[in-house]
Amino acid sequence: MPMFALPDFPYPKPAELRIRVIEPYALDMPLAKSVQTPMGTIGSVVNLLVRVEDEDGVEGWGEIWCNFPRFSMPYRARLLREVVAPLLLRQAFRSPLEAWRMLTAKTRILRLQSGEPGPLAAVIAGVDIALWDIAGRKAGLPLWRMFGGLGGAVSVYASIGRSEDVPRRVEDCLRRGFRAFKIRSAGDIAEHLAAAMPVRRQIGDACELMLDLNSSWNVDAAVEAVGRLEAVHLAWLEEPIPADAPAHDWQRLAAAAPMDLAGGENLIGAGMFQAALADGALGVIQPDPTKWGGLSGTLPVALAAVGAGRRLCPHMFNGAPGVLACAHLLAACNTPHGILEYGVGHNGPREPAIREAVRDGSFLLGDAPGLGLSMDGEAMRALRVPL
């Protein structure tokens, strides 16, 4: 099968950069009760942010994905300080894109030798988001407009965590104006139906409902049973099987499924996205710019997905810089069918920065330059942990 072609980056005018400061910020908010997931136990909300400052004193913020395992924050912060930062500091770049390509090339052998492409990709992604934040601030433009977007508001769905009282949370979100909801489930078809059917009854037929299985279903069981989910009227079924399952397994499941399949948060590298688009099993593409690519890598993927008629729904369940990067990514693509993930549980590290952004089912980016992020120093100090 031929590789799916990605478009060139929609290159804005050059944004000269020379970086003088790169530092990690680790934020940790303990949960009242630990939550068991297919990926491990969660005991807190964690954010690993990166602050970058150029020689003109302009500051930018990014986010490095570190949800699993929870103890990965210090390691990824050390990769930032000892591997990535020395490649950037005091060097001149014509754009964040040039810096991202350099970092990706310079760390190639280390990624291969260490067998750990994910941590390095996430660190580079976080830095890339911060560099684009600086570029937008220096240009006086919000990133969505800098990348060719026509409007600074995107649709948003309520992403409900495993620890939450789902009926109460859904009711609260309905009052807030949400009209799309994603819940999570693991186990067999009976458990999936038990999780989804009450929510479908609660929200009615006018709202969208999505189900995320976090790669927990066996492919043969999924192919046999997925048709029974038709009664729930799902907009999509997210990662029912692992992202690295063979393409023919995904295609078998897509042929049997009465709804679109969604995935992309666990794809790393342009090649994996190109293959996923070419295979045709995913109707919904969900790149996570804090895991791989930042904005430099994921914007061409997003544009390709929209051009191929797939629904674009960037993945993000964590901090303010990552959520904003996803929102700008979506707004830049000018797709009427895309929708942004927004975790609606209490998120102390995130809320002070973007609590007013979500209104009546939309995420409002506005015209502030760069990411449009205003970090709350007091809130950060209260949650910051040493590295």
Bridge partners, residue 312, by sequence:
285
Instruction: Choose among 127, 111, 108, 130: nearest CA to 119.
Output: 111
Inter-residue contact 327 to 363 (CB < 8 Å): yes
Helices (H), 177-266: 189-203, 219-225, 247-256
pLDDT at residue 103 greater than cutoff 70: yes
The helix (H) or strand (E) run that includes residue 340 is: strand 340-343
Q: What is the pLDDT of residues 132-178, one digit of tens each?
A: 999 999 999 999 999 999 999 999 999 998 878 999 999 999 999 99
pLDDT in tens, 203-218: 999 999 999 999 999 9
Backbone φ and ψ for 281, nearest 5 degrees, come out as -75, -30
Domains located in the chain, CATH noted: 17-140 (3.30.390.10), 144-383 (3.20.20.120)
Q: Tell me the Ramachandran region of residue 173: left when phi exceeds 0, alpha when psi lies from -120 to 50, beta otherwise.
A: alpha
pLDDT score recorded for residue 11: 67
Q: Using pLDDT thresholds of 50, 70 and 90, give the confidence band for residue 45.
A: confident
> What pTM was computed for the model?
0.95
Record the tokens describing residue 156, joined without a space.
């948003």
Give the pLDDT mean for 248-274. Answer: 97
pLDDT digits (tens, 9 = 90+) for 186-245: 899 999 999 999 999 999 999 999 999 999 999 999 999 999 999 999 999 999 999 999
Q: CB of 123 within 8 A of CB of 80?
A: yes
| Over residues 13-26, mean pLDDT | 89
Alpha-carbon gap, residue 63 to 88, rounded angstroms = 17
State yes or no: pLDDT of 340 exceeds 90.
yes
Pick from 182, 191, 227: nearest CA to 209: 182
Nearest-10 Cα torsion for 303, 304, 309, 315: -70
Of 289, 332, 338, 331, residue with least CA distance to 309: 338
Identify the pLDDT of residue 81. 98
